[in-house]
Amino acid sequence: MILFGSSFLVYNLAAYASDPLAELRLSTDDGARQQIISLTRSLNLDTPPPIRYFLWLRGVLGIFVGNLNLGMTREASTVQEELAYAIPVTVRLVLVATITAVLFGLALGIISALRQYSRFDYGMTFLAFLLYSLPIFWVAVLLKEFMAIQFNNFLSEPNIPIRWMVIFSIFTGIFWSSLFGGERKRFWSVFGGAFATSFVILWAIDLTDWYLTPGLGPILIGFLAVGIAFGVTAISTGLSNAAAKKAALTMAGLAVVWYYPAQWIFNNVASYFTIFILISLIVLSGLGLSRLYSKIDRGPIARTAIITGILSGFLILVDRIMQSWDDYRATDAVNGRPVPTYGQRKDQLVTEDFWLNNLDIIMHLILPTLALILISLAGWIRFTRGALLEVLNQDYIRTARAKGLNERVVVTRHAFRNMMLPLSSLFVGEFVGLVGGAVITERVFGWQGMGTLGIKAINSYDLNLLMGVNLLLSILVIFGNLLADLVYSALDPRIRLGK
Amino acid sequence: MKLFGRKEQATGEILAGGENAIANKEVEGLSQGQIVRRRFFHHRAAVIALVTLASLILFVMTSLDSKIGPIRIPGWWKWTVEDIPELRYEDCPGGTTGCPTLSLKPGSSFGLGTHPFGQDDIGRDYFALVMNGARRSLMIMFVIGAVAGFIGVVVGSISGFYGKKVDAVLMRLVDFIQTVPTIIIAAVIGKAAGKVGPLYLALFLGILGWTGLARLVRAQFLQLREMEFVDAARVAGASNLRIAFKHILPNAVGQIIVSVTLIMAGAILTETALSYLGFGVVAPDVSLGLLISQYESSFTTRPWLFWWPGFFIISIALCVNFIGDGLRDAFDPRQRRRITKKDREQAKLQVKAGE
């Protein structure tokens, strides 16, 4: 019903506000007159807009009898075709951006709330406000300049100047030390540690020309996997749970053992299906490990092992994609400038190689997603922080603490789950909102998605195309709201609809 | 915009009883307005933002000639948008033209020079262009804030106050407007409005932007009209209008002001984004978004054409956001002054002294 009203309004507004024939009328050419006649016929321009709307609506309602007709564009292709091409492009962009932004936003917001009024918290607040005030197109242009053009220049002559190493290391130092907080002595020791670590890493990267032939290798993956095992155990079950710790460490060991077989698999039978199979294997072995190490309370142990396994597996995957980097740079289509500023795929890149294709998609995704992430991150940080602070002030948290539960359990079990309630409904809304925000990003980065289609429609007064985009966005908003309500009522036992 | 508000309020709530006493002592014997003002001026970031924004507006508004009806107030800047002075070639990097003369290095070149922000392609003074654009953007921002604020408050309060059928109808209207994708419809109108001028664009964006505020005001009204003081007013024989204006609205005003500032911060970004896409303010008119879009491609060679408009957009939006944050904290009745370590020590000392 609402959809009907809003599409009626938009249709008529757009129809009256624009004259698709204006340009042709100005021309005195004979061909132009021909074109006017043919366009008028194919787009029914001689019927007044309110009536034409119902003609259009009939086509739309055809979806119920399996015969959807959204009309023709000016270039005489059907609107469905154009949309079918554009939707996956936009969805890919927005989905990746939303998920990444949520992960980072949640992490930063939670830390910010747990360390309320610390230096980190103030830093995050300021960062959120700054990001919130940035115009997305401005950010996008900056990213293009500094992350793509200058980075590509840098790659042709790779050498990190010592000055940048120092500056970057200082920033990492400030980040970590503000994160850990504490008295002056601790602040400086953390700062020194982080500074030295990042400086050494950068130096090593510079010496080995790591960014030309990146890769992690089994040894580095081993260290990282053990680190992940400890980290995941600490958050998921606490380090005092010996069985979980053992299971996670075994999983990390398995990851290293599997490194070379995995290479063989990736090189010979690479597909999304293979990756799916490998993930299932990880899940199965996680379950197996939990049976092996414990007789009771296997759930959390299996969970810890599986998360560790998936993260370590992800490292191996990243490593494999990194190995294609050199080949990718060397291909003709890329020609040594691997960070693209334009388009969603390299059309010239014709290859059967699974990894090259994926790397190409990833490289094209990086900048636009980064722009979208930067913009939406601010909201997530603020909202997560607010939600967690509110939950932490509830009585049941105080009860949980009074029972003597340790802080980890209080935060992960009692606070985190309740905090996710308002956030879960927000997720849907944000996703829908970002589709709108993607319009500008697509334009800056030359993606052929929904936004570009909409702009094209407006610029060429292509009413059917515009309505197609508009209809899709409206449906998205309505279903998004519905989904948000449903999710909320499903998660929150206090809300019962239809009572 | 929706992200902020509501959930933020919990900050610093529920403190132990003794600490509450400290916080309450701060506001003893003060009127609501005094408390709000006091809290706001204690919010350092917000005060800095307010001062910055005020001086920015003053700076932008007085720099160029302005017309109020027939009266012409001359600006203090020597160039206008129409002037086309000669392009500067000397000491520009890499054979570019019209580079900025602003120099902060101490020495002979220190100072503003003739064209502190540089010149555009045909030699127009970029400072004048940016000032003009900032002025446009500020105007649009305030118009959107005013229009959206007005409609939002009226619709929200009617809906919340009368409830039932009126509420149902008005809320469907809100749903309805929310499903219209703002950027698309604004682009359609902007394309048509390019001919009639930025004021209409601003009015129209205002007409689209009030839905969030209306929901907020409605929720406030629904909650407040069940309060005892409203019943008391009704028993005392107050009319509906009096109850709405004198009893309910003052209680909701905090949320409204906060929400309007956030609408304004969003508005300046929307306007610049639309102008950037070519659907908002169009040439020969000047706006900050338009300037960025025009000189986007010359970023590598003449970055100053890109930095300055962006700088003004960000500073305005940042200031408005911080002011909104300060206001939210100030109006929030649950927000108490942060209990510092010093307060705690003092409280302990007092307790000890009491023993």
**Three-state secondary structure call for residue A251:** helix
A 143-202 residues with CB < 8 A to B: 145, 149
Would you call B313 an interface residue with chain A, using a CB distance cutoff of 8 Å? yes
Neighbouring CB atoms inside 10 A of B245's CB total: 13
Yes or no, beta carbons of B8 and A382 under 8 Å apart? yes
Q: Which residue has the tokens 């400890």?
A: A230
The answer to whether the beta carbons of residues A132 and A378 sit under 8 Å apart is yes
The pLDDT value given to residue A68: 65
Residue window 367-396, chain A: list those with CB within 8 Å of chain B: 379-380, 382-383, 386-387, 389-390, 393
Specify the pLDDT at position B13: 39
Q: Using a CB–CB cutoff of 8 Å, tell me whether B176 touches chain A.
A: yes
Distance CA B260, CA A338 (A): 44
Mean pLDDT is lowest, of A427-436, B108-117, B268-277, for B108-117
Q: Tell me which chain A residue has its CA closest to the CA of residue B14.
A: A393
Sequence-distant contacts of A393-397: CB under 8 A, at least 24 apart: A393/B10, A393/B13, A393/B14, A394/A418
Any idea what DSSP says for residue A147? I
Label each residue of B279-302 as H, E or C: CCCCCCCCCHHHHHHHCHHHCCCC
Given a contact cutoff of 8 angstroms between Cβ atoms, the answer to whether B261 and B327 are in contact is yes
pTM over 0.90: no
CA-based nearest residue in chain A for residue B317: A133
> Mind listing the pLDDT tens digit of every residue in chain A (499 residues)?
666 777 777 777 777 666 666 666 666 666 666 767 766 666 666 667 777 777 777 777 766 666 666 666 666 677 777 888 888 888 888 888 888 998 999 999 998 888 887 788 888 888 888 888 888 888 888 888 888 877 777 777 777 777 878 888 888 888 887 777 667 787 788 888 888 888 888 888 877 777 777 777 778 888 888 888 888 888 888 778 888 888 888 888 888 888 888 888 888 777 888 888 888 888 888 888 888 887 777 788 888 888 888 888 888 888 888 888 877 777 777 776 777 777 777 666 667 777 888 888 888 888 888 888 888 888 888 888 888 988 888 888 989 989 988 888 888 888 888 888 778 777 776 777 777 778 888 888 888 888 888 888 877 777 778 888 888 887 887 887 788 777 777 777 776 555 4
State the CB neighbour count (10 A cutoff) for residue B239. Answer: 11
B180-to-A11, A475, B203 alpha-carbon distances in Å = 11, 10, 17
Q: H/E element holding A8? A: helix A2-17
CA distances from residue A78 to A49, A174, A218, A315, A456 in whole angstroms, order as listed? 20, 55, 52, 44, 15
Q: Which residue of B has its CA nearest to A467?
A: B184
Tell me the helices (H) and strands (E) count for chain A, helix number first: 22, 0
A267 to A82, A216, A263, A349, A359: CA distances (angstroms):
36, 17, 6, 19, 15
Chain A: residue whose CA lies nearest to B189: A17
- Are the C-beta atoms of B155 and B177 separated by less than 8 Å? no
- Cβ separation A137–B338 shorter than 8 A: no
A440 touches chain B (CB under 8 A): yes
What is the ipTM score, two decimals?
0.76
CB contact under 8 A, A454 and B187: yes
